Amino acid sequence: MSPNYTRLTGALLSGLLLLQPASAVPGVMHPRASSTSSASSSPSATGVCNGNADFCNRSYSNITFVGSHDSPFVGSLPQQNQNINITAQLNMGIRFLQAQTHHSITDDSVLELCHTSCFLEDAGTLQSYLETLKSWLDANPNEVLTLLLTNGDSVDISEFGDTFSAAGVDSYAFVPTSAGETLGISDWPTLGSIISGGKRLVVFLDYGADTNTVNYINDEFAYYFETPYDVTDATFSNCSIDRPPGASADGRMYLINHYLDVDIVGADVPDRGAAAHTNAAMGNGSIGANAALCEGLYGRAPNVVLCDFVDQGQLMQAQANLDSL
């Protein structure tokens, strides 16, 4: 059996896994979802940071961002999670983007944005996506953006580094601390300080980060914990720590997976019809209710609320509510 055949078979099999409940396969269908710094304040040139004057003097780790889950998968098919493209997501105010990466089917040296399998949904190359982010950062100098990537094929970190360099976006990537170390939750700089430092793209990877090799791609689970994903309970009543398993909330920022799935013949697919309700600012099952439940448990607001169909509901209102102290 040739390696290519094996790879093709593997990819087909992983496509077929979608017919299984996604929960049976950890990470399938809904896996995820940065200079030595000081916490001193130094506002941006305009005195407005991410559109908010208060944020210039507020630590990155004390801000709630609504985020786009599976941000590149745009369209009306069941495996697509968003209605509007990345630029439109950024322009509506989204400042936290999550995306899945896999090796391309046709070229094993290329990182592609695919949903579980590149046969199912292939939204183009990671490099092209990063070029879009770079253009947007070029045009929006007072904005800090966070990118959370998943590494579904356990690709070596150097390939991610090469792709960021090829896109020219590595020059924007924030380096929180010395290689091999983790910045403490209370040590994150203010947005003003990040903006004046010019390194306005904060990058995390779910698995396989190694800051000794690529110093700006940070280990997601050293910095965050997450609530369960593949949620099919419209009330979002479970705010337990799902990953990293057994983790402590202390010292970690946290991300809540606030996107609803519906079971269609055994596969969990994004519940498009419920999106306006799920993404409401307030009310049963809303962003506000989910965040309030979590805040009750952990004594602080979530750092990230990851959502499908970000154009539906009231994401920006929900974010403003969570960020008003």
Ligand X SMILES: *[C@@H]1O[C@H](CO)[C@@H](O)[C@H](O)[C@H]1NC(C)=O
Binding site for ligand X (CB under 6 A): 41, 57, 62-64, 85, 87-88, 228, 234-235, 238, 240, 242, 284, 300-301, 303, 325
- Give the up-direction half-sphere exposure of residue 202: CA atoms within 13 A in the CB hemisphere: 24
Per the annotation, the verdict on 69 as an active-site residue is yes
Q: Which residues pair with 267 in a beta bridge?
A: 264
Of 105 and 301, CB closest to ligand X: 301
Distance CA(137)–CA(147), nearest Å, equals 12
Distance CA(93)–CA(55), nearest Å, equals 14
**DSSP letters spanning 65-98:** EEEETTTT-BSSSTT--BSS-HHHHHHHT--EEE
Closest residue by Cα to residue 99 from 152, 150, 153? 150
Per the annotation, the verdict on 115 as an active-site residue is yes
Q: Which of 30, 103, 115, 258 is catalytic?
A: 115
Of 25 and 234, CB closest to ligand X: 234
311 backbone φψ class: left, alpha, beta (φ>0; ψ -120 to 50): alpha
Q: Which of 30, 69, 102, 103 is catalytic?
A: 69
Distance CA(15)–CA(93), nearest Å, equals 33
Distance CA(203)–CA(71), nearest Å, equals 15
Task: Enumerate the active-site residues.
Answer: 69, 115
